[in-house]
Amino acid sequence: MFKVTNSWNQSFRYGKKYIRSLIRKYLPPPDILNDLCYCYGRKSKIIKDMCEAVLLQIKETIEALPGCLDIVADIYPSYTIESENHIVFLVTLKEQVDTTLFKKYIPFATEYRVIGYYTTEAKSIYKSEIFTPMTARDQLKVKQCINMHSKDLFNKHRYLSIITANVVKSRGFKTNSHVQDKQLCIVLFVHAKGFVPIAEDPFFDAYDEIAIDVLEGVFIPYGNTSLEFHQDVKMGCKIMRNCDNGGTLGGFIDHHTHGLVGLTCAHALLHQKELESCLKHRANLRLSDWPTEYREKGKRHVFQPVEDPNRGPLGQIVEAVYCHGGENQSGVEAVLFRVESQFPLSGGFPSVKKHVVEYVVQQHFMVKR
């Protein structure tokens, strides 16, 4: 240990090239890492490289412990407003475990969060006795402020998840001096309150003369994406007939013969012989004219999102239209399938892509990643 410390003490004299050679051998002691952060600046490339080496070692150390395999979701170096050059590694875990054992093997300053488990500060605000609805004037004021600054804030702060507003501001949470004041404020939900990613600057105290309140919280999309299973199928969902044929559900029709049917492109679900049969039958293919090999039960099933042995089909194809276009006529291709399960409940669409770090908070005006 003395040799390691002595080698790293020489880094202040020999500079970055020497430091990079040391990183490949062993990590810097925590106090020297902080001193180098003061020397080169927390945003410098050399500090970034050292932190990358440290966080990789932290991940390996944690996941080598009993019951901790693949438990680390994310790690990033951070600092606090009170101590800009004291590096704290923020470790996000996939599930709750006793982290006291980690300190025995990890000499660096660490802070832990678990996906889905965050402080109750936000809930305490919305349950506050002084919480009241926002006036129309204040709503307009914060809306204009959020619209003005949200894009820049999201670009500059990686772990900012939600921007909203409130009429109650929290101060000194988890201290003996915790108070809640009635004050209009812009609320910024971050992954870990009090710990600023090392390459970022802190939030301003106010935007457009509206104070900020930083809380812990993250946005979760309400529904599943188009590639996931939907209990009530929606327009835009992925549908499949088999491993080779699939597409996107375009919409629904209340058909006079077949009842509720889904609509998509013919080429997405039909086989080549079925497309050829459409042309032979004046573009309109009905069940009575369907190619023999596809008439049997189960041959025309449609699944959402894909075939699953634990779930039945979404429905089955009942009719198709397909014809080529020409100089004076447009081509048409469509296929109808009768919906037999996962019945739609609205005209909504699937959610967009979900984020890696997940947790929930909601209120008035909300701008999310």
| Amino acid residing at 74 | D
Q: What is the pLDDT of residue 51?
A: 95
Decide if pLDDT at 54 tops 80. Answer: yes
Instruction: Assess whether 242 and 335 both reside in one domain.
Output: yes
Give per-residue pLDDT as tens, 1-12: 556 777 888 888
pTM > 0.85: yes or no: no
Q: 26-35, 83-92, 170-179, 320-329 — which is least confidently predicted?
A: 320-329
Instruction: Assess whether 311 and 286 both reside in one domain.
Output: yes
| Amino acid residing at 166 | N
Residue 79 lies in a domain: yes
Instruction: Assess whether 204 and 245 both reside in one domain.
Output: no
pLDDT confidence band for 361 (50 / 70 / 90): very low
Q: What is the pLDDT of residue 136?
A: 92
pLDDT confidence band for 258 (50 / 70 / 90): very high
Instruction: Assess whether 203 and 148 both reside in one domain.
Output: yes
Q: Which residue shows structure tokens 């106090």?
A: 31
Residue 103 lies in a domain: yes
Instruction: Assess whether 106 and 31 both reside in one domain.
Output: yes
Full domain range(s) for residue 151: 121-220+356-368
Instruction: Assess whether 210 and 255 both reside in one domain.
Output: no
Of the residues 114, 147, 162, which one is the last residue of a structural domain?
Answer: 114
Instruction: Assess whether 129 and 65 both reside in one domain.
Output: no
Give per-residue pLDDT as tens, 281-338: 888 888 888 998 888 878 899 999 998 888 899 999 999 999 887 777 778 899 999 9
Of the residues 114, 140, 156, which one is the last residue of a structural domain?
Answer: 114
Residue 230 lies in a domain: no
CB 5 within 8 A of CB 32: yes
Give per-residue pLDDT as tens, 150-177: 999 999 999 998 999 999 999 999 888 8
Residue 214 lies in a domain: yes
- Domain tally, the chain: 3
Instruction: Assess whether 315 and 243 both reside in one domain.
Output: yes
Residue 147 lies in a domain: yes
- Paired sense of beta strands 251-255 and 259-264, if any: antiparallel
Instruction: Assess whether 108 and 152 both reside in one domain.
Output: no
Give per-residue pLDDT as tens, 126-147: 788 888 888 999 999 999 999 9
Give per-residue pLDDT as tens, 202-234: 999 999 999 999 999 887 655 688 888 998 999
Q: Which residues of 80-107 are buried (b: 16+ CB within 10 A; e: fewer)?
A: eeeeebbbbbbbbbeeebebeebeeebe
Exposed/middle/buried for residue 6 (C-beta within 10 Å: 0-12, 13-18, 19+): exposed
pLDDT confidence band for 369 (50 / 70 / 90): very low
Residue 228 lies in a domain: no
Instruction: Assess whether 361 and 212 both reside in one domain.
Output: yes
Mean pLDDT of the chain: 88
Instruction: Assess whether 181 and 271 both reside in one domain.
Output: no
Of the residues 114, 132, 149, which one is the last residue of a structural domain?
Answer: 114
